[in-house]
Amino acid sequence: MKRLVGELTDLNIKFQLEEAAGVVCKVIYPIPVSSFSGKGTEVAICTLSSMDLLKKVSSDAIMNKLLIVGRLFSENKGIDHLIQFCTMSSTMKYLILCGKDTNGHYPADALMNLMQFGLDEHNKIIGTKAPYPFIKCYPNLVNKFREQIKLIDLRDCYDLDKIIETVNNLT
């Protein structure tokens, strides 16, 4: 028990340091846009850390078939926000992951493992290599997300034509 408490304390300190680093990064490297809304209802795209891909998708006519296109940088807060958005939509069915996973945080790996294996009793995503994969969403939201959304894995794909073809096959 002492060992578990010690590990959780170490993780809490590490999390606080990462939170502080995140605030510093936002000031030093501001990211002006995180998502763009489309006119569709069932398909969303997550370009992970690929900002150029986010801009390409957002300026293409495919936005008429997309609910939203956005980015995902973190394996905890980012996934929490993603779950909340997706479960608020009663029409969304598909989430396409494309682009580059964020080195060091690995949110795509965390999301894929969340979908496949779920959470442990401490709300930690099972099986991921992400360093701090703890979800704060209520378990019922996580379960709803896992049941409602089909994840389409196009990680490391930067080809807009292939992404568009995937969207067209889903709609």
Q: Name the amino acid, one letter, at 30.
A: P
> CA-to-CA distance for 145 and 169, rounded, in angstroms?
22
Alpha helices by DSSP H, the chain? 2-28, 51-58, 77-88, 107-117, 139-148, 160-170
Give backbone dihedrals phi and psi of 47, rounded to 5 degrees, phi first.
-90, 10
- Max mean pLDDT among 20-24, 140-144, 159-163 falls in 159-163
> CA-to-CA distance for 76 and 53, rounded, in angstroms?
22
- Per-residue pLDDT tens over the stretch 42-64: 999 999 999 999 999 999 999 99
What pLDDT is recorded for position 25? 43
Say whether pLDDT at 26 is over 90: no
> CA-to-CA distance for 52 and 50, rounded, in angstroms?
6
Structure tokens at 155: 């990680």
> CA-to-CA distance for 64 and 41, rounded, in angstroms?
9
- Per-residue pLDDT tens over the stretch 79-97: 999 999 899 989 999 999 9
